[in-house]
Amino acid sequence: MDWFEEYESEIRAYSRVYPVVFETAENAKQTDENGKTYLDFYAGAGVLNLGHNPPSMKAAMIAYLEKNGVLHSLDMMTVAKRDFIQAFVETILRPRNMDYKLQFMGPTGTNAVEASLKLARLVTGRSHIIAFSQGFHGMTLGSLACTANEVFRNAAGVTLDDVSHWPFDNHTGGGLESLDTLRALLENTSGGLEKPAAFLVEAIQAEGGVNVASQEWLLALQKLAHDVGALLIVDDIQAGCGRTGRYFSFEGMGLEPDIITLAKGIGGAGTPMAMNLVKPEHDRHWKPGQHTGTFRGQNLSFVAGREALRFFEDDKLLSETRAKGEIMREHLQKLAEAHADKGYAVRGKGMMQALDVKDGALAKAIAHDCFEHGLLFGPCGVGGQVLKLIPPLTIPEDELLAGLEIFSDAVHRQTEAN
């Protein structure tokens, strides 16, 4: 019996793209139950920045289990949670002169976004949110209202209110002039646009097609937010935690978001965790217990996440990430140049790199070709036409190059066939 086909919901998606049963995994490789090994250039949609089963995290979790460490604690204080908080403050916040409170909620990215929206509305007394075209922020109703994808939005079954969308920096109708237009509407008492509680933005739109916002645009957005009394929320759920060669995707740009949403890679070993960084003056608006979440005290995630932070105690991993990202970018650029007549475009930062092949059907064919030859990755963007590569940051260089060769061969084959 095919237990998945027979009993699992029709909603399943990735299993249709990769129709094998995986059994084991190590760093950048997954092996199916028949013994075939695949290079993983998807890494759990950014969850596995440090690879599958990282030895230090696995050892720490096993040791914690063997000593009967607390596994579930709501928001009670535990040694594991204290160790994580201390490590995050000392390793990430203080070296960057960042002053934030840490808020834990439910264990996924959409929970982080929901909490950020609720707090922005509490702080400002306003209800409206401005998000951006092609943004992706989650599947629960508040987050979904901010997500732009029509397919996802149509599945809501209810109206998605109190959010409007504006063109992202490098989308049609976007850019600095577009923000000037938005400012004019918001500052005009007869502009017809309600002043928002917050602007919600990704510095890099991962699911939206790896669209990278410019520093100038992000700084202009931050100034607009503050000028109209709104909060700036940066969703760094997929692009954060080292993915771009900096811990935060917007690092070094002069941004000081009011709230930063984190999840995915922060748990380290694929263990679920979400956390918001909140400016202290905004965090004071919460009343005790005003926002909860049953699994905000997932202590295995604190244990694994604390070990993950050791990778950021110096610049070694991030430096390697930047170097590998450049290898990826150069490889994709050569592919684009080889098919210049097709108009393929390369986008990305660090080890989030993508090739836009301008055709969703072609992208699907390339992904299937890669799968047949032992490479996993996920198309994204409008119509699924963008081929996004996000291997673990810890992938050995020889495996990175091997995966890129599989990818290149598939692009060449399918481009010629189509």
3 state SS for 16-46: HHCCCCEEEEEECEEEECCCCEEEECCHHHH
User: CB neighbours (10 Å) of residue 235?
Assistant: 32
Q: How confident is the model at residue 96 (pLDDT cuts 50, 70, 90)?
A: very high
pLDDT of res. 410: 98
pLDDT of res. 1: 57
Q: Does the domain at residues 58-312 carry the CATH identifier 3.30.465.10?
A: no
Q: How confident is the model at residue 418 (pLDDT cuts 50, 70, 90)?
A: confident
Closest of 271, 266, 264, 262 to residue 300, by C-alpha: 271
pLDDT tens digit string along 382-403?
A: 999 999 999 999 999 999 999 9
DSSP calls for 250-300: TTTS----SEEEE-GGGGSSS----EEEE-HHHHTTPPTTSS--TTS-BHH
Residue 40 scores a pLDDT above 60:
yes
Torsional sign, CA 335, 44, 13, 104? negative
pLDDT tens digit string along 186-232?
A: 999 999 999 999 999 999 999 999 999 999 999 999 999 999 999 99
For the record, the structure tokens of 264 come out as 């995915």
pTM, rounded to two decimals: 0.97
Q: Is 411 helix (H, G, I), strand (E, B) or coil?
A: helix
Residues 163, 253, 262: CA angle, nearest 5 degrees: 50
Q: What is the DSSP letter of 89?
A: I
Angle between helices 79-88 and 299-309 (to 10 degrees): 30
For the record, the structure tokens of 11 come out as 């909603």
Q: Considering the domain delimited by 3-53+315-417, tell me its CATH architecture.
A: Alpha-Beta Complex (3.90)
pLDDT tens digit string along 126-179?
A: 999 999 999 999 999 999 999 999 999 999 999 999 999 999 999 999 999 999
User: CB neighbours (10 Å) of residue 175?
Assistant: 18
How far is 418 from 416, CA to CA, in rounded Å?
5
Show me where the domains of the chain are located.
Answer: 3-53+315-417, 58-312
CA–CA distances in Å: residue 197 to residues 16, 128, 130, 233: 40, 6, 8, 10
Strands 204-205 and 129-132: unpaired
Q: Are 24 and 31 in contact (CB under 8 A)?
A: yes
